[in-house]
Amino acid sequence: MSQPILDLKNLSVMYSGIKVVSNVSFTIFKGETFAVVGESGCGKTTIANSVLRVLPPDGVIDQNSKILYYRDLSRFLDVVKLSESDMTKYIRWKEISMVPQSALNALNPTIKVKDHFIETGKAHDLGDKGEVLGRARVMLEAVKLDADRVLNMYPIELSGGMKQRTLIALALFLNPKFVILDEPTTALDVLTQREIIILLKDLKDKMGLTYMLITHDIALVADIADRVAVMYAGRLCEVGDIYKIFYNPQHPYTQMLLASVPKLGEFKIPRAVFGTSIDYRRLPLGCKFHSRCPFAMDICRREEPSMIELEKNHFIACWLYMRR
């Protein structure tokens, strides 16, 4: 995986003047599943919304940030610099799409499923209604749904799993190359979650997709991801491949996050990440995790660590390693 498809450089985002994502940098390569994990409120969904430029009205991307989308090795677009019309023309849904959070509430309850596809087609200047519905049938069948039946149903008539599959079909409707999955299995029962995971893997292989997975579900990350970025308080703590992060986590937050998850075959009681989440209005100096970290030193309370490469393709922001 050497060809980049998305490259974030010093992404910073503010809501009403309060910085909630700070200097986040990582590269996602074509064909991989890149997971961004962390507790609620750490900035995961803000990053996803920044990539598609669908932040709420008070959300602002710092103009020194770069979000580079590579159409191929030699051609890329900086999402931050594109106009709204160019985002619709070149990026949204055509190149990058999203399966949004809260699948059970993401569909408009007042219109039929077919109208969701028709509206998406109109927004992107597709052909006539017949062409749109023809594409819709292909995608609904690809996600293992009865297309003719589902197209004429209202969202309230769909089960949770059917709604999620419909959203996946909508996300793939214009044949994008890069798909953001924002908590794709939340609020689904365990069996339906498993079906969705298998479906996502199958679609990735068949359609040559690249995924950015936004989640707090460690088990889902272990099942589907190739590489992982761990976030805390709008900052990256650790980035590495799935094996490094799960079998040799180095950042104290990553270690505590993994220790909080019960493991099959072990009789240890999971340990909660003690302390309370950060208040972005009153961010402390230094490392933002220091008040909850058992290894905090004086320098952690004074200066924020920068991201270093601990070993090949394993990055970490922690004073424990910078002082060695």
pLDDT tens digits, one per residue of 221-235: 999 999 999 999 999
Q: Is the same domain home to 153 and 190?
A: no
Considering 238, 267, 296, which residue would you say is the last residue of a domain?
267
Given a cut of 80, whether residue 267 has pLDDT beyond it is no
Q: Name the percent of the chain lying above pLDDT 90.
A: 77
Q: Are residues 1 and 98 in the same domain?
A: yes
* 79 and 208, same domain (yes or no): yes
Whether residues 40 and 121 fall in one domain: no
User: What's the domain count of the chain?
Assistant: 2
Residue where one domain finishes, among candidates 217, 247, 267: 267
pLDDT for 216 equals: 87
Inform me whether the pLDDT recorded for 321 exceeds 80: yes
In the predicted model, is pLDDT for residue 275 greater than 80?
no
Are 97 and 30 members of one domain?
yes
Q: Are residues 134 and 182 in the same domain?
A: no
Let me know whether 93 and 39 are in one domain: yes
Q: Residue 37: is its pLDDT beyond 60?
A: yes
Whole-number pLDDT of residue 262? 74
What average pLDDT does range 174-182 have in this prediction?
95
The pLDDT value given to residue 205: 94
Which pLDDT belongs to residue 123?
85
Residue 239 predicted with pLDDT over 70: yes
DSSP states of 139-199 as a string?
HHHHTT--HHHHHTS-GGGS-HHHHHHHHHHHHTTT--SEEEEESTTTT--HHHHHHHHHH
| Greatest Cα-to-Cα distance within the chain, rounded to the nearest angstrom | 66
Q: What is the mean pLDDT of residues 110-122?
A: 94
The whole-number pLDDT of residue 273 equals: 75
pLDDT band of residue 101 (cuts 50, 70, 90) is confident
Q: Is residue 191 in some structural domain?
A: yes
- pTM for this prediction: 0.93
Residues 49, 123 within the same domain: no
Quote the Cα angle for 319-322-324, to 5°: 110
CB 229 within 8 A of CB 239: yes
214 is in which domain, residue-wise? Answer: 1-102+174-267
The lowest-confidence range among 4-18, 96-110, 252-266 is: 252-266
Q: Is 196 found in the same domain as 118?
A: no
Residue 263 has pLDDT above 80, yes or no: no
Q: Is residue 309 part of a domain?
A: no
**Quick check: is 75 in a domain?**
yes
pLDDT at 144 over 60: yes
pLDDT at residue 73 greater than cutoff 80: no
User: Which carries the bigger pLDDT value, residue 192 or residue 272?
Assistant: 192
| pLDDT at res. 303 | 95
Q: Which long-range contacts (CB under 8 A, 24 or more apart) does 53-60 make?
A: 53/79, 53/82, 53/84, 53/87, 53/91, 53/92, 54/92, 54/98, 55/13, 56/15, 58/15, 58/16, 59/13, 59/14, 59/15, 60/13, 60/14, 60/15
pLDDT attached to residue 268: 66
Q: Domain end: 267, 287, 302, which one? A: 267
Mean pLDDT of the chain: 91
Helix (H, G, I), strand (E, B) or coil at 207: helix
CATH number of residue 29's parent domain: 3.40.50.300
Q: Give the lowest-confidence range in 144-153, 173-182, 256-265.
A: 256-265
In a domain, 272, yes or no: no
pLDDT in the model for residue 105: 81
Q: Are residues 115 and 238 in the same domain?
A: no
319 inside domain: no
Is residue 167 situated within a structural domain? no
Residue 265 confidence class, pLDDT cut points 50, 70, 90: low
Mark whether 95 and 211 lie in a shared domain.
yes
Residues 4 and 31 in one domain: yes
Residue 97 domain-assigned (yes or no)? yes
pLDDT at 1 over 60: no
| pLDDT computed for residue 99 by the predictor | 94
| Within-domain flag for 210 | yes
